[in-house]
Amino acid sequence: MDALSSAVPLKIEMDLQLTLMASMLYRLFALRIGNDMQTAKPGTLFRKFIENQAKVQIQPDQIIVTLSRKSNHPYLFAAGYTNFKDPMA
């Protein structure tokens, strides 16, 4: 899509849409965590919660994610991210 013959407006609209979606997901994540994280910037949320090593086990009836230890994990527990059930299933 970076070629001169590409539809540049399409690329800009797609980039904008993906940026808006990511921003909204960070806001929803921050609201669910609470504890003064509602005003945190996306970079801070990424550093404190997303950027982490994990072990992922995929089984026929469940997906188990084991995070490495980090001081902010109690926020995830309080927000109800443990034993999370997919509402779409």
Q: How confident is the model at residue 1 (pLDDT cuts 50, 70, 90)?
A: very low
Query: Is the pTM here over 0.75, yes or no?
Result: no
Task: List all residues 6 or more positions away from 6 whose beta carbon is below 8 Å from its beta carbon.
Answer: none
Task: List all residues 6 or more positions away from 19 whose beta carbon is below 8 Å from its beta carbon.
Answer: none
Q: How confident is the model at residue 57 (pLDDT cuts 50, 70, 90)?
A: very high
Summary mean pLDDT of the chain: 79
